[in-house]
Amino acid sequence: MRIPKPAAAFSRNRRGISIPGALAALLCLAFWSVTQPAHAQAPAAKRTILRPGRVLDVRTGELRSNQAIVIENERIAEIASAGEVKAAAGDATVDLPEATLLPGLIDMHTHLTMDLGSLGYSGLGISTAREALHGARNARRTLEAGFTTVRNLGANDYADIALRDAINDGDVIGPRIVASGPALGITGGHCDENLLPPAFHLQGGGVADGVEAVQHKVREVIKYGADVIKICATGGVLSKGDDPNASQFTLEELKAIAADAHRLGRRVAAHAHGAEGVRWASEAGVDSVEHGHLMDDAAIATLKKNGTYLVPTLFLAEYMQQNMERSDVPEFSKQKMRWIAGAAQQNVKKAFAAGVKVAFGTDAAVYPHGLNAGEFHVYVKLGMTPVAAIQTATINAADLLGWTKQVGTLEPGKFADLIAVDGDPTKDVTTLEHVRFVMKGGVVYKNDYSKR
């Protein structure tokens, strides 16, 4: 997804202001943090013991009862039979007898600093600082929805880097963020700024053309804090004047991006709808293809052969079909959305059946943040079991991040990122749309069970 953001850059050029947008955003976040109460309930105890009704092993799909989880500092210290775990003086105990506990969920494709109001021409008047404040609000909503880790793929002027750092420093509440900063794209492509007339001479922050230029851009975004490289390999839906079927970067440019990123320790996520762009991105060595809605059988076979993850982002089409006519999205975007929505589920279903690796991702911002778990029921509708769908947002997503030792399962030594829901999500995956308890790093951020 690409959202226009030219106004702040033009203002800086016209007025000669030298403060970078990310710094301004971080200053605003700091002000926000001291004027808003923190809702997290930081445990004063040296240990916290969770006693849920059931614990889901996401690897096997087994629900285990009579379990206790011991948390020390921010990590899981022990998982054992409830009878074997005795609370000591100073321990805190959280009883969740009616709940099913599972790992915190991971969304591999978000845009926390953007909203429905950022789409199309209405986004031209939103400053980078305001986007960062939107991000602080959306980060909290996302965490409270049960997503303890996200990959943010595309933000203006490094606003997502500022948001990530503010969360890490404890200034605002939100999930763990793997952030990309500006997405890389070609001149006039999906990740450029195409809504203003030529007189503005404005270009997107990630635009680069040619092998040497894309190598430089990869190094530049890493310099300014990018954890992951987001690129636009084809045209998109919400952008003006481009074709989602058309490839944008050349194969040589894509290979140069992937090689530089990997050498410098970053993974690459490639927005790609059209079949050729999906094939080229996979052959170039990217780690994930985002969307893939117009891929053909050859593109699916290429993803399978190369072990490239597919991040499908399907619920957005369902949401937009129901809400498109009352949205502010420009008509050219609505037309492309109608076209792609008709093909997306059919093509992704083929990828599921072919055994392509899948990681959960939503493109949240195209629809409201906090509704991320709506993605699960679409996967089940297209043939996944509920357990397989849950695995896309846990063990698969952790693998794609390269964080398998940190998140994705409930095991000693991993971050104490846990959520709880009523019922059995292995039978009804829509229970994940109603998360009742959220813990991140040993800190409780939501506990609806305590209100009963």
Q: Which residues are catalytic, by number?
A: 230, 363
If phi > 0 it is left, if psi is from -120 to 50 it is alpha, else beta; for residue 65 that is beta
> What is the separation of C-alpha 104 from the centre of its chain, rounded to a whole number of angstroms?
13
Query: In this structure, what token pair is assigned to residue 357?
Result: 């690796």
Bridge partner list, 71? 48, 76
Matching residue, tokens 């909203």: 115
H or E element at residue 74 = none
Contacts of 265 (CB under 8 A, 6+ apart): none
d(CA 4, CA 121): 8
Residue (of 248, 366, 131) closest to 374 by Cα position: 366
- Helix, strand, coil share (%) of the chain residues, nearest 5: 40, 25, 35
Q: Answer yes or no: are the C-beta atoms of 101 and 52 closer than 8 Å.
A: yes
- Report how far residue 381's alpha carbon sits from residue 388's, in angstroms, rounded to the nearest whole number: 12
Q: Is 209 exposed, middle or buried (0-12, 13-18, 19+ CB in 10 A)?
A: middle
To which H or E segment does residue 421 belong?
strand 418-422
- Which class for 315: exposed (0-12), middle (13-18), buried (19 or more C-beta within 10 A)? buried
- Under DSSP, is residue 54 helix (H, G, I), strand (E, B) or coil? strand
CA atoms within 13 A on the CB side of 42: 5
